[in-house]
Amino acid sequence: MNVSEALNSRLEELATLTTTTYGKDFLLTWENSLDNLKAVMLVAEVLQILHRERKTWKIFDSGLAISIFRDNSTRTRFSFASAVNGLGLALSELDEVKSQVAHGETVRETAAMISFLTEVIGIRDDMYPGEGHTYMTEVADAVTDGFDHGILAQRPTLVNLQCDLDHPTQSLSDLLKLKDYFGGWENLKGKKIAMSWAYSPSYGKPLSVPQGVINLMSRFGMDVVLAHPEGYDLLPGTLESANHFAAQSGAQFRVTHSMEDAFDQADVVYPKSWAPMAVMQKRTQLLKQGDKEGLKQLEQSCLAENARHLDWECTEEMMKLTRNGAALYEHCLPADISGVSCERGEVAKSVFERYRLHTYQEAGFKPFVIAAMIFTSKVKDVAAKIRTFI
C-alpha cells in the first residue's frame, strides 16, 4: 500500500465513526466509546505517516502546552513534548517545587494561573491510589470554571499522561503495535494476551499499565489472562470493568496465579512488574504522614516479598510455552533486563534483544497517540483538516 492509499484508507474508516471527542478531555480509555478510541488511533497513524513524509500537521499558530509530571518519565515526557511541538504549541513544564504550589497554592488556583494562553495540559500523577485521577478531574473542573466565567478565552484540553487508574497513551500505543503486527483490529479477536506480573528488584511501580491493558485489549476482543502471585492485586473496579468489556466483545477475561498458565498458547505476552494495591495504599499513607522510617520498612518488606517470586521472569523456557513458541513480547519500557539493567529482572536478555525493535516501534506510536488525542479534541472536522495537509 503506497502513502496515498494508506492515508485515504484511514480517512475513509475515520468517516464511518461516530465520535464525541471534540471539546473533550482524554482521561480514561474506558470513558471513551470504541469509535472514539479508533478515531484517536487512526489519526495517530495518519500523523505518523505525515511525519515520515515530512508534511506538516500543525493546527496551532501560537499557544502553550503545559506538562505536569509528578513522577519520573522518559518516553511519555518526550512524547508529549514532540506531540505538542508538532501541533504548533510551545511547551512549558510546571515544576511544583519552583512554583507557588510549594507555598500552599491550591490546585484550583494553579490550574487557572497556568491556563491563560494554554491549549493543552498533560498530567502524570500515577503513584498514589485514589489520588492521580482525582487530581486530574480537579484541574479539569478548575479550567472549566475559568472558561465558563470568561476568565479564560479557551478551555485547555487535559490529557492523562498516566494516573493511578490508567495509562491511556501507553495502552493505545500497545494496541497500535498489535494492530500493525497482526494486520488489523479484526485480527485481534480471539488472540490471547498474557498480562503478567514479573519480578523486579524495585518496589512501588504503579498499577496503571496492567489496569489499562486488561481494560483496553478486552474491548477489542482479545482473550486476556491477568497473572500475578497472590497478594499482587489490582484495583477491584478495574477487574470488574475488564470482565464487563470482555463479555461485551465476546472475549474471555480471567485471573491466574501462574505465569506458566498465562503464557500457555499466548499470542502476546506483557510481563511487567507492579506493586500490590495494598502496598501502594500503605505507601500513600506513610508519605502523607512523612514517616520516613515507615517507608524504609515498607520498602524492605516489599523487596523481600518480591524476592520470593524470582521465577516470575520472561525466560526462553517461558516463551516456549506460547503459541508456536513465538508470541509477541510487549513492554512499556524501561524493562528490567536480567544481566543488563539488573542481576535478575522481568525478562531474560536474549528474549528482550529479540523483541527490542518491536518495543521501540511500540513506544514510537506514543507521540502520535498524544497528538491525536489533542487533535481530535480541538478540531471539529478531523478528516477535512487532515486533507489540507496531504
DSSP 137-151: HHHHHHHHHHHHTTS
Q: How many CB atoms lie within 10 A of CB 13?
A: 15
Question: Is residue 28 located within the same domain as residue 75?
Answer: yes
- Domain count of the chain? 2
CA–CA gap between residue 173 and residue 361 (Å, rounded): 9
Question: Is residue 346 located within the same domain as residue 373?
Answer: no
pTM (2 decimals)?
Answer: 0.96
Longest Cα–Cα distance of the chain, Å, equals 62
Question: Is residue 357 located within the same domain as residue 231?
Answer: yes
**In the sheet where 192-196 sits, what is the strand order?**
253-256, 223-227, 192-196, 268-271, 328-329
Domain holding 19, by residue range, is 3-166+365-387
CA–CA gap between residue 255 and residue 262 (Å, rounded): 9
Cβ-Cβ contacts under 8 Å for 236 (sequence gap 6 or more): none
**CA-CA-CA-CA dihedral for 14, 360, 86, 43, to nearest 10:** 0
| Separation of CA 144 from chain center | 24
Question: Is residue 123 located within the same domain as residue 214?
Answer: no
DSSP 22-59: TT--B--GGGS-HHHHHHHHHHHHHHHHHHHTT-----
Question: Is residue 189 located within the same domain as residue 337?
Answer: yes
Q: How many CB atoms lie within 10 A of CB 367?
A: 26
Question: Is residue 259 located within the same domain as residue 208?
Answer: yes
Please tell me the predicted confidence (pLDDT) of residue 102. Answer: 61
Question: Is residue 202 located within the same domain as residue 96?
Answer: no
Question: Is residue 102 located within the same domain as residue 116?
Answer: yes
CA–CA gap between residue 229 and residue 378 (Å, rounded): 43
Per DSSP bridges, beta strands 328-329 and 268-271 are parallel
**Cell numbers that stand for 132 in this block:** 492521580
Do 132 and 165 meet the contact criterion of CB atoms below 8 Å apart? Answer: yes
Q: Is the dihedral of CA 158, 161, 167, 169 positive or negative?
A: positive
What stretches of the chain adopt beta strand conformation (E)? 64-69, 90-93, 118-125, 157-163, 192-196, 223-227, 253-256, 268-271, 328-329, 337-338, 347-348
Which whole-number Å values give the CA distances from 383 to 85, 173, 387, in the listed order?
21, 21, 6
CA–CA gap between residue 168 and residue 190 (Å, rounded): 22
Question: Is residue 243 located within the same domain as residue 122?
Answer: no
CATH code: domain of residue 335: 3.40.50.1370
Question: Is residue 130 located within the same domain as residue 180?
Answer: no
Question: Is residue 195 located within the same domain as residue 119?
Answer: no
Tens-binned pLDDT, residue by residue, of the chain (390 aa): 788 899 999 999 999 999 999 999 999 999 999 999 999 999 999 999 999 999 999 999 999 999 999 888 999 999 999 999 999 999 999 987 766 666 677 899 999 999 999 999 999 999 888 899 999 999 999 999 999 999 999 999 999 999 999 999 999 999 999 999 999 999 999 999 999 999 999 887 999 999 999 999 999 999 999 999 999 999 999 999 999 999 999 999 999 999 999 999 999 999 999 998 888 888 888 878 888 898 889 889 888 999 999 999 999 999 999 999 999 999 999 999 999 999 999 999 999 999 999 999 999 999 999 999 999 999 999 999 999 999
Question: Is residue 120 located within the same domain as residue 236?
Answer: no
